[in-house]
Structure 1
Amino acid sequence: MTRLTALAAALSCAIAHSTSASEPTQLLWGDTHLHTSYSFDAFLNQNRSADPDTAYRWAKGLPVIHPYHRAKVQVETPLDFLVVADHAEMMGVMRAIENNTAELDDLGLIGNLKRWFAIRVLRGAMESGNEGSDVFVSFLPKKAANPSGDPVQDAGGDVIGDPIFGDTTKTETTAWGDIVDAAERHNEPGKFTTLIGWEWSSIPTGANLHRVVFTPDGGDIAKKFLPYGSDQSQYPQALWQWLEDTQARTGARFIAIPHNSNISKGYMFAETTLRNEPMDLDYIKTRMKWEPVAEVTQIKGDSETHPAVSPNDEFADFETYSHYIQQDKEEYVAKPADYVRGGLKQGLAIEQKVGANPYKFGMIGSTDAHTGIASAEEDNFWGKLALDSTPESKKLFPEMDEESDLENMGANGWSMSASGLAAVWAKENTRDEIFAAFQRKEVYATTGPRIQVRLFGGWEFPDNADQAENLADIGYANGVPMGGDLNREDAQNRQPQFLVHAVKDPKSANLDRVQIIKGWVDSKGQQHEQVYNVAWSDERELGADGKLPAVGNTVDLKTGAYTNNIGSTQLTTVWTDPDFDAEQRAFYYVRVLQIPTPRHSLYDAIALQSEVPAEGPATIQERAYTSPIWYTP
């Protein structure tokens, strides 16, 4: 079968089984984590021109000018919604300094002279490229002096920012107004949704604790506050308190989304608070009020799990990113609390002790691109930073040598992942309905392809429910969707069932398999996990160990072409948990794998006529992760 023929067949299948207007919810695709030239680090790394307007125009499918190499670029398939999430810390300050529009307070004769000199040095550094990136690194923290303590109180726990500029509130307020106004101009209810947001970028001792915050409310409310940054506090509790206070004062609604837990040094989903204190009910209630969803995949790697955390999971080693964001190198150590699967299990264990679960979150993907360009397509990937947007600049950033501070962080453009997207089952494409879907966790993540996934949990679905044309109606009527809870009172001597429907991206590869990942805690509080293959392509047979033979690989390493003559266009099933224990807390989520396809590093190698970079494999199996469904005895 040629790729064109397979694509035509896939399109036909996808159209036949796509979301119809009569279904209770529709599938929307977006990015909740995109930076523009208003972020200090994006600007220092050569994004001088891609502003919020550029970001929204790209997301809508319009051609835009790339901020670094100045070529015309365009997304293949437009998005349905977007959050421009520039850093609250020094929001718009670097841009304003470069453009002579900064509104800075009088620091007195000596203070003004110091600031004038610092600005001259900064401008010179930004003009040279290499030194501009080194200035960015100089803003980052140092590694911990006492790794087992509170990272905020550690000597390496300095906040992002530079007091030599003085109070930058006026400049940040102007920048926030620009960001809000752009969101208001581009919001088109029912067609394209803009959600107003920012990033709180706490990173004490290089432990990534970042959160993206967004609101479904409009500019009239958003302009009543200035985004809260980690330069005000690096503790998540302080952010949550600010959200509480700001909601009470302005009526604004918020959701905060943790991301890059994979480089949190074991703090993001730990058993204790950041201050190393036991969690009480008030802490857990507050955290879950503001953080119902976590970002599981993005450009800085995948945060589902890791081989050291899930040694029996053959697909655990996927887009692993092992580089801390700090001034000095430090060996990467994967911990269960760095990954969402470990966090979900830890939440069950804490609930068994305390009576509430702090990590009962749904999952999404987003890009975290700092280019103003939300690119998650392997063959149309424009990098993390403006600087690493071309094949030749991914190994060593332009005009840099091996002693560059940025290069010494250990990462480069091929370490990055062309990922991800947020998928939302919403009633309509509006701010309020997207926000509601996030709150009920009826959302999921993909690493880039638009794989359509439905997941429902229940106790007894009708026969052949997975083959029904009205599968969604059956799922909602007889169970709960992803993000929901199974009713324990219905467990009466029954085993839970899960109705799964996965359809390939019509513009991408076929599907390899559908897996259900189960996590649970036993009566002793011990944490467990199991990966079940529940649906697969090509008439393969499960082995005695529950493993499936590999689906195969059609990628031509010389051309980057692949064929869809393996895999399936869709996979559906009703799966019953054979190991269910009604006395054990558990969660279940779906992982859908594509057949192997080319990674962006292979495309670069072919273009450069070079070997495939060691920093990434030639091919990958893109995937989707649904939000879990929980069972509580």
Structure 2
Amino acid sequence: MMQRNRKVLAGIALSGALLTACGGDDLPDRNQSAAGLGQSLFATDHTIVDRRPDANPQRNAYFGDLHVHTTYSFDAYAFGTLATPYDAYRFAQGEAIKNPAGFDMQLREPLDFYGVTDHAMFMGVAAVAADTSSDISRYPFTEVLHDLNEADNMDRWSLPRRMRSFAGLLAGLIPGIINGDIDPEEPLSITRRAWADTVKAADMYNDPGRFTTFVAYEYTTGSDDRGNLHRNVVFESSDSVPEVPFSRMHSNNPEDLWDWMDTLREAGVESMAIPHNSNGSNGQMFKLVDWAGDPIDDDYAVQRIRNEPLVEITQIKGTSETHPALSTRDEWADFELMEFRVATTLPSKPEGSYVRDALRRGLALEAQGITNPYTFGVIGSSDTHTGAAQNDESNFSSKLGVLSADAQLRGSVPFGFIEGLLFNTVAPQAMTEVDGKTFVGGAQPTFGASGLAAVWAEENTREAIYAAFRRKETFATSGPRMKLRFFAGYGLPDDLFDSADGVAKAYATGVTMGADLAPPVNVKESESEGQGALRFAMWAQADANSAPLQRLQIVKGWIDSANETHEEVIDVACAGGAAVNPASNRCPDNGAKVNLSDCSISANTGDAQLRTVWTDPDFVASQRAFYYARVLENPTCRWNTWDAIRAGTERRSDLAATLQERAWSSPIQYVPKLGVVVE
């Protein structure tokens, strides 16, 4: 692979001074008005109070969201969002904030950490362009934004204008800059101020020991065929961050983003990029060639996994674990699929678009002698565009502000005859007919009330949580706050979790989720019993505000001697103490049901906890493999069923009425090359 020129990128990374949390000469005065940015920059003095408790060496589970947009994202502003990063952090700590349509949004319980990730490209520009007193509002293409989010425009009849504003800003700015009609410093100066304000908000609300914030943003790019290649960039701290985030206006090549991150790292600024919505990438996210179309090599792989140790496996725009076309023997592979390329109605190719497939591709690359770029861990997040995480099926307003503010706009309830005619006239491509009724079609009805990022960390601080990200001791949930432990080792005892020090023993004698596992020493090649047996210790706890647990599973992938990859889903613990059927590797049906008239669920079915120590009977010490844990709840109502009940209408027949919420651990990678098997 040709070595890319890093000098230009180094200049981008370090031009001017690095922006520090303490301020700098390039920052606006704290009393300066930030017209169109939602509130004054640095409007509130603050003092950080360190109230952290003693660190827990066995680590605590912390839940958060690392994919949150506010009014500074050009698309969120077009959706009607006025919530600032300050509002987003207040929401995450349990306060109510307003949806663009005027109703309150509030969490059932606060989160532990949060990261605002506004789009780096033209950050803050839409909000300023909407203010007719600003300089940038003089351009004709900004007229559609003028006063867009005044109170009398916050209704469904503003939707056509909002869609025009979303496209018009980019269609005006980008050619204008390229053609020399717009000085790039004009939008860049707005972005610089919005980014400084984003950093300030994160520091203002960071409360070590109680609530953690991360300085972050979204890098937005895609392939020529409109495949999604977006990443969220998360900084370890705010001590020194660049004065301008790297965006597609610098380069649309993710490899250039990694170069920029490496350059920052050499200067002492640590960050990571987290890809999301691989499901909408049309096979581009986990492809086997680089940006130039050359086969992946070691340089590419090492740089990618250094900068991208995690991927987002679930969010509102669908879950990216796997697809029925890829995992034909996984009965739960069709979970919350969004099968379009992002922001289109074009289908997205499954191959190269899903996490489990990428894990298998990584094994195949290793078999060819190439470093594996896909040994990542997993998190979930929301991708909300209202500042407020949306992961409660019973209280889901989706992510698009005014565009998804009611059940009809979300696609779960049909339009009346007159409204249906109007919407079919204005936006026929966005409508669909189901059972003779007119609904919103396309991707929006497939959106899900998901997800959450979760970590095991010693304390609720930036340092501890970021370290968990780096070692990949992370798990993802589709919304509920279920907890999931996952360890691997040789000869782990059956009663590991029966003792108070079981977790400590697991840490001491095994490896945890996200880690690499070396082969056993002094055991026979195929030994699957006794002290040399490869064993997995798993523990899951239900969310008290959600449904009981139904089953605990292992997902295994491996490569055989013919260099063919395989996968298997194995139930390892069943609700009610039921035994797994050894022929099918499945738990018996536990009879859990949902009453679709009121969404009540079966009583006395399912468990508050599931745990087991499982031995892989097919373990071969010389065979490369990965393993991850998955836990499923009993069925509950999907958000569209809740919408239909509240509206007093029949459920939309082409949408799932129920779902099984779940959590996924980061994979443990079994790597024979890490050690030597002694016969």
Q: 1:549 aligns with which of 580, 588, 595?
A: 588
Structure 1 residue 555: deviation in Å? 1.5
Alignment pair present for 1:201 and 2:216: no
2:209 counterpart residue number: 190
Alignment pair present for 1:69 and 2:90: no
Structure 1 residue 122: deviation in Å? 3.9
Name the amino acid aligned to 1:65: K
Structure 1 residue 100: deviation in Å? 4.2
1:91 counterpart residue number: 123
Comparing 27-36 and 547-556, the one that deviates more: 547-556
Name the amino acid aligned to 2:199: V
Q: 1:401 aligns with which of 406, 417, 423?
A: 423
Matches within 5 A, 1:234-273: 234-249=252-267, 251-273=268-290
Q: 1:303 aligns with which of 308, 320, 330?
A: 320
2:44 counterpart residue number: none
Alignment pair present for 1:339 and 2:354: yes
**Does the 8 A contact of 1:457 with 1:480 survive in 2?**
yes
1:51 counterpart residue number: 84
Q: TM-score by structure 2 length?
A: 0.81
**Does the 8 A contact of 2:539 with 2:610 survive in 1?**
yes
Structure 2 unaligned segments of length 5 or more: list them.
1-52, 432-439, 525-531, 673-679
SS state of the match for residue 604, structure 2?
coil
**Does the 8 A contact of 2:283 with 2:348 survive in 1?**
no
Matches within 5 A, 1:259-298: 259-298=276-315
Deviations 1:183-233 (A, max 9, x none): 111110111011000000112332011100011212x412x4311112221
Alignment pair present for 1:226 and 2:260: no
SS state of the match for residue 472, structure 1?
helix
Q: 1:626 aligns with which of 648, 665, 673?
A: 665
1:590 counterpart residue number: 629
SS state of the match for residue 538, structure 1?
helix
SS state of the match for residue 501, structure 1?
strand
**Does the 8 A contact of 2:574 with 2:580 survive in 1?**
no
1:28 counterpart residue number: 62
CA–CA separation in structure 2 for the residues paired with 1:618 and 1:389: 20
Name the amino acid aligned to 1:323: F
Matches within 5 A, 1:131-530: 131-137=161-167, 163=177, 166-167=183-184, 168-204=187-223, 205-218=225-238, 220-222=239-241, 224-249=242-267, 251-326=268-343, 329-335=345-351, 337-386=352-401, 387-395=403-411, 401-402=423-424, 403-404=426-427, 407=430, 410-411=441-442, 413-490=444-521, 492-493=523-524, 494-530=532-568
2:27 counterpart residue number: none
Name the amino acid aligned to 1:309: L
CA–CA separation in structure 1 for the residues paired with 2:160 and 2:499: 58
Q: 1:561 aligns with which of 589, 600, 624?
A: 600
Structure 1 residue 247: deviation in Å? 2.9
CA–CA separation in structure 2 for the residues paired with 1:140 and 1:537: 52
CA–CA separation in structure 1 for the residues paired with 2:597 and 2:603: 18
Deviations 1:24-50 (A, max 9, x none): 211110001011111111111121x11
Q: Percent identity?
A: 40
Structure 1 residue 124: deviation in Å? 7.5
Q: 1:78 aligns with which of 110, 115, 120?
A: 110
**Does the 8 A contact of 1:303 with 1:340 survive in 2?**
yes
SS state of the match for residue 488, structure 1?
coil
Structure 1 residue 166: deviation in Å? 4.6
CA–CA separation in structure 1 for the residues paired with 2:391 and 2:201: 23
Deviations 1:318-373 (A, max 9, x none): 0010122355x4234322x1110000111111112134210000010000010110
Relative to 1, partners in 2 of residues 1:103 and 1:246: Cα closer, same or farther, differing over 3 Å?
A: farther
Deviations 1:466-496 (A, max 9, x none): 3222221121011011011112253733331
Name the amino acid aligned to 2:613: V
CA–CA separation in structure 2 for the residues paired with 1:406 and 1:194: 40
CA–CA separation in structure 2 for the residues paired with 1:159 and 1:474: 58
Relative to 1, partners in 2 of residues 1:528 and 1:192: Cα closer, same or farther, differing over 3 Å?
A: same
CA–CA separation in structure 2 for the residues paired with 1:487 and 1:307: 32
Deviations 1:406-439 (A, max 9, x none): 8279535432100000111011111111110000
Deviations 1:430-456 (A, max 9, x none): 111111000000000000111111110
**Does the 8 A contact of 2:56 with 2:458 survive in 1?**
no
Deviations 1:49-95 (A, max 9, x none): 111111101100012222x2212221001100001000011111001
CA–CA separation in structure 2 for the residues paired with 1:559 and 1:487: 51
Structure 1 residue 581: deviation in Å? 1.4
Deviations 1:211-259 (A, max 9, x none): 00011212x412x43111122212110100111123334x211010010
Name the amino acid aligned to 1:394: R
**Does the 8 A contact of 1:134 with 1:405 survive in 2?**
no
Relative to 1, partners in 2 of residues 1:406 and 1:86: Cα closer, same or farther, differing over 3 Å?
A: farther
TM-align CA RMSD = 2.6
CA–CA separation in structure 2 for the residues paired with 1:491 and 1:365: 39
CA–CA separation in structure 1 for the residues paired with 2:199 and 2:606: 44
Count the aligned residue pairs. 583
**Does the 8 A contact of 1:510 with 1:595 survive in 2?**
yes
Name the amino acid aligned to 1:503: Q
2:143 counterpart residue number: 120
Relative to 1, partners in 2 of residues 1:540 and 1:140: Cα closer, same or farther, differing over 3 Å?
A: farther
**Does the 8 A contact of 1:40 with 1:92 survive in 2?**
yes
Comparing 54-63 and 486-495, the one that deviates more: 486-495
SS state of the match for residue 344, structure 1?
helix
Structure 1 residue 577: deviation in Å? 0.6
Structure 1 residue 632: deviation in Å? 1.2
**Larger-gyration structure (1/2):** 2
Relative to 1, partners in 2 of residues 1:255 and 1:160: Cα closer, same or farther, differing over 3 Å?
A: farther
CA–CA separation in structure 2 for the residues paired with 1:521 and 1:625: 22
SS state of the match for residue 53, structure 1?
helix
Comparing 158-167 and 410-419, the one that deviates more: 158-167
Relative to 1, partners in 2 of residues 1:161 and 1:248: Cα closer, same or farther, differing over 3 Å?
A: farther
Instruction: Name segments (4+ residues, structure 1) moved above 4 Å.
Output: 19-23, 100-104, 124-127, 137-141, 158-162, 396-400
Structure 1 residue 125: deviation in Å? 7.0
